[in-house]
Amino acid sequence: MFHPEPIADMVLRGLVLAAIALVWVVINVRILGLRSFSKMTSFDFVMTVAVGSLLAGAAQASEWTGFGQALIAVSGLFIVQFFVASIRKSSDPFENAIGNSPVLLMRDGVIDDEALRRTRVSRGDLIAKLREANVLDFSQVRAAILESTGDVSVLHGDKLDEALLDNVERLEG
């Protein structure tokens, strides 16, 4: 492919194809935006894993057709992701079908153990997030929410605007 000696060809092919494939992914991200790899939903996670797998496949391609197919597949994934993001933005039912709902884990200083159980978040993980948010006392916490991204948001202070809890699922009881 690149060199008549098998070892030199292997090294050159690995380096050159990996570099070209990486540049191709960067070009796709530049065209379609940073949201392509943002931490949003399970769909976005699958997209990221699939692109990584295709990038690895492109770097290991032994034939130009395999390399080209991997690059085309990367572009195809970015195009699908672009259309899915567009539809999610304009369609609440589609957003609900493909996205995860944020879940209330704690309200007004009280931990919702049922919400922790159903979301598989340990009490220790929640408390670690409270410490990261500089919570000094449970009574300071107005709400702790497991976001659709898997992050935990901690809202603390004297009062809480209820609009911040719009579309947040409550699992208690």
The mean per-residue pLDDT over the stretch 133-159 comes to 91
Q: With pLDDT > 90 as the criterion, what percentage of the chain qualifies? A: 33
Pair 51, 115 in one domain: no
Query: Do 46 and 67 reside in the same domain of the chain?
Result: yes
Confidence of residue 150 (pLDDT cuts 50, 70, 90): confident
Mean pLDDT score across all residues of the chain? 85
Q: What is the pLDDT of residue 36?
A: 59
7-41: per-residue pLDDT in tens?
A: 887 778 778 888 888 888 878 777 766 555 656 66
**Residue where a domain terminates, one of 79, 96, 113:** 96
Plot region of 33 (φ>0 → left; ψ -120 to 50 → alpha; else → beta): left
What pLDDT is stored for residue 13 in this prediction? 76
User: Residue 79 is part of which domain span?
Assistant: 6-96
Radius of gyration of the chain (CA): 22
